[in-house]
Each structure stands twice: as C-alpha cells, then as structure tokens.
Structure 1
C-alpha cells in the first residue's frame, strides 16, 4: 500500500470523535529547505513509545532526514525530496508495536 494511503487509513483508525480534535499528523516545511513531520502519539497504539534519533545523511547538503520521539510525539525532518522517507519511517515504526 502506498504510504499516503496508509497514513490516511492510520489517521482514520485513530479518529474516535475526540482524538482528532487535538491530535493528528502535522506536515510542514523547514527553511533548510525541507519537510517536517509531527505526530502526537497520545491515544494511539504508540502512546508512550520512544524512538532514539535516527539520522540519514547522503551526499548532498539537502539530501538527509532524521526521526525521533520527544514529549510523546514522533518527529521527523528532512530535505526537500524526503517527505516520503519521513512518512515511511513513521509507518515502519508504528508496525513495531509489541
């Protein structure tokens, strides 16, 4: 399944009439340039899980991405061509729930 379809289904599965009013994925841009991703984890299967920072640096200064958790939220940031990398990292991390 395409990662955007997966994210839409993941979001829909979290919606319970309350959660979606205060939580959910936030996709934005950063000035490096690049993308940011933040997903509040409260009320999800990943609530309270921790991810130590994972960083991928490639050959060009805008060819990078990194993900971590902080304050019960999944965070990601990356260069302008790595939005998909951030979303895939989030998807893969959510599948590791024991």
Structure 2
C-alpha cells in the first residue's frame, strides 16, 4: 500500500505543487497558470509549458458524456489548454495533472 500522504494529493494540490516547482524567481514573471470562464458557458485552464520539463509535450483529446458534461484538452508543446463545461473544472485540472505525469 502507498504512502497515505500521496493518496490524499488532490488534483488541485498537484497543480499547485507543479506551479511551485517551476517558480524559480524568473519563470513566474513571464509564465504561469490561468483559469478563466468562457461564454459557452464553461471554464478554460491555460498552463504555460515554456521552460518546464513539459515543454514540447503534445496532446489533443475531447471527452463528453451523456449527462452533458464535456472537456477538451490540447497542448501545442508551449501551452496546455483545457476547456470544459461549468461543472467540470475539477476534471480540467485533473487532465493537466495526468498530462504532466
């Protein structure tokens, strides 16, 4: 069985840790993470990958379910962008955490 502390790491906590690990006194002045609302309605999560270990990593996925929830995630290697319905922000954050692993 794994370490109980590892099991309690939420996607939001993992996102915060990833951000903190990339803050070096310089990176955070030009790059970072943005969470915004969209007029779909929904959420948009943008994570800068420049000058991180994820720079150059690509993805392009969409997922929707019968209950009307949806999420779309893309990375051009420079930015990871996830867009989702109003009730799926947790899924968007989790999609970045999985992308980063």
RMSD between aligned residues = 1.2
2:10 corresponds to 1:6: no
Tell me the equivalent position of 1:76: 82
What residue is the counterpart of 1:57 in the other structure? Answer: 64
C-alpha displacement at 1:59, in angstroms? Answer: 2.0
Partner of 1:42: 50
In structure 2, the residue corresponding to 1:46 is in which secondary structure? coil
Question: 1:71: Cα distance to partner?
Answer: 6.0
Q: Counterparts of 1:77-92 in structure 2 under 5 Å?
A: 77-92=83-98
Query: Aligned partners of 1:33 and 1:21: how far apart in 2?
Result: 30
Does residue 26 in structure 1 map to residue 34 in structure 2? yes
CA distance in 2, matches of 1:71, 1:27: 19
TM-score (norm 1): 0.89
| Whole-angstrom distance in 2 between the partners of 1:5 and 1:93 | 15
Aligned structure 1 segments of 4 or more residues deviating by more than 6 angstroms: none
Q: How many residues align?
A: 93
Larger radius of gyration: 2
